[in-house]
């Protein structure tokens, strides 16, 4: 991290201390975490200048488990919103698939209850965010990005899950605190997404929340609506001038510049979520 980034991040970090005495310097350890996220090297191969690899990994794992990374991200977003650096006029939703490395697919097997006592791979559990798709074992990252190409909220899902069912949850995760008081801001002015996010459920949710949206309607949905006549409702409005799909794609590309995000090396979903969140924090610190 640069000196400016460190001065901005330091007040948001937990105090140095813990069981057994003081922790190692935060800046050294965080630099080691960011080095690993950027390069994707195994934790054991971290350069010696970052100290013990186990110390670096354990702090990243602990902060991923207790929500420290997410709290830091919200704090950084709150300051950016206070300075007027968040573009709420258009928030785009999108997703990207990440192949799972063999290290991510090697979780233990838990025995299932019952007389057969069959073993079920843990990586097929929904909460681990891994699943089989055409590309093999993959994980899908859903995100909402603001107009400045920075992520507002993140969500992990198995690779074979569709995009439309995840839209409501990813929008519900947008939560930017207001340091001067008041409820956190959760609703953008406008939402855009591709055809994969077009569904009656999503459009009802956006109308209920009074959020304007620009989402193209697939051919089969248009045909079904026309076939139903008046019961099918009015056609979904689509403004080509406001459709800014490029912004969320650029946000995804900036995140996947980090090799530990582009490929999932972490076995547990909460650790991988912390990896993506730390990469997102770095994007916010750079602007």
Query: What pLDDT is attached to residue 129?
Result: 84
Query: What pLDDT is attached to residue 218?
Result: 78
Strand 190-192 to 212-214 pairing? parallel
Query: What pLDDT is attached to residue 113?
Result: 47
Which CATH code for domain 3-285? 3.30.420.10
CA distance 103 to 64: 18
> Hey, where are the domains in the chain?
3-285
10 Å Cβ neighbour count for 134?
8
Query: What pLDDT is attached to residue 18?
Result: 56
Q: Which helix (H) or strand (E) holds 287?
A: none
Query: What pLDDT is attached to residue 231?
Result: 54
Query: What pLDDT is attached to residue 116?
Result: 41
Query: What pLDDT is attached to residue 277?
Result: 97
Query: What pLDDT is attached to residue 121?
Result: 43
Strand 91-99 to 190-192 pairing? parallel
Strand partners, 120: 110
Reduced 3-state DSSP string for 38-85: HHCCCHHHCCHHHCCHHHHHHHHHHHHHCCHHHHHHHHHHHHHHHCCC
Name 120's Cβ contacts closer than 8 Å, sequence gap at least 6. Answer: 109, 110, 111, 112
Query: What pLDDT is attached to residue 117?
Result: 44
Query: What pLDDT is attached to residue 115?
Result: 43
Query: What pLDDT is attached to residue 228?
Result: 65
Query: What pLDDT is attached to residue 73?
Result: 96
Q: 136: left (phi > 0), else alpha (psi -120 to 50), else beta?
A: left
Q: What are the DSSP calls for 83-144, one per residue?
A: TT---TT-EEEEEEEEEBPTTTT-PPEEEPSSSS--EEEGGGSGGGT-EEETTEEEEEEEEE
- Note down pLDDT in tens along the chain; length 287 residues: 899 999 999 999 988 765 544 567 899 999 999 999 999 999 999 999 999 999 999 999 999 999 999 999 999 999 999 999 999 988 999 999 998 888 787 555 555 444 444 443 444 555 688 887 776 888 999 999 998 889 999 999 988 888 999 999 999 999 999 988 889 999 999 998 888 888 889 989 999 999 988 888 877 666 766 666 655 555 555 566 666 678 889 999 999 999 999 999 999 999 999 999 999 999 999 87
């Amino acid at each position: 991290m640069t000196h400016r980034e460190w001065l901005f991040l330091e007040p948001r970090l937990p105090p140095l201390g813990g069981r057994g005495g003081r922790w190692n310097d935060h800046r050294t350890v965080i630099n080691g975490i960011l080095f690993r996220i950027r390069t994707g090297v195994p934790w054991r191969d971290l350069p010696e200048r970052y100290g013990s690899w186990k110390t670096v990994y354990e702090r990243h794992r602990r902060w991923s488990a207790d929500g420290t990374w997410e709290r830091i991200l919200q704090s950084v977003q709150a300051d950016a919103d206070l300075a007027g650096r968040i573009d709420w006029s258009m928030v785009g939703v999108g997703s990207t698939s990440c192949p799972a490395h063999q290290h991510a697919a090697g979780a233990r097997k838990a025995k299932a209850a019952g007389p057969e006592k069959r073993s079920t791979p843990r990586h097929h559990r929904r909460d681990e965010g891994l699943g089989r798709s055409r590309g093999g074992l993959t994980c899908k990252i859903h995100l909402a990005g603001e107009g400045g190409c920075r992520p507002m909220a993140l969500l992990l899902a198995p690779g074979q899950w569709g995009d439309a069912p995840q839209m409501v949850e990813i929008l519900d995760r947008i939560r930017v605190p207001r340091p001067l008081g008041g409820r956190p801001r959760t609703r953008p002015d406008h939402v855009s997404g591709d055809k994969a996010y077009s569904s009656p459920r999503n459009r009802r949710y956006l109308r209920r929340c009074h959020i304007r949206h620009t989402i193209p309607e697939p051919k089969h949905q248009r045909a079904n609506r026309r076939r139903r006549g008046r019961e099918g409702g009015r056609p979904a409005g689509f403004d080509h001038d406001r459709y800014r799909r490029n912004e969320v794609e650029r946000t995804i590309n900036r995140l996947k510049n980090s090799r530990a995000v582009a490929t999932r090396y972490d076995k547990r979903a909460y650790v991988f979520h912390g990896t993506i969140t730390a990469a997102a924090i770095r994007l916010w610190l750079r602007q």
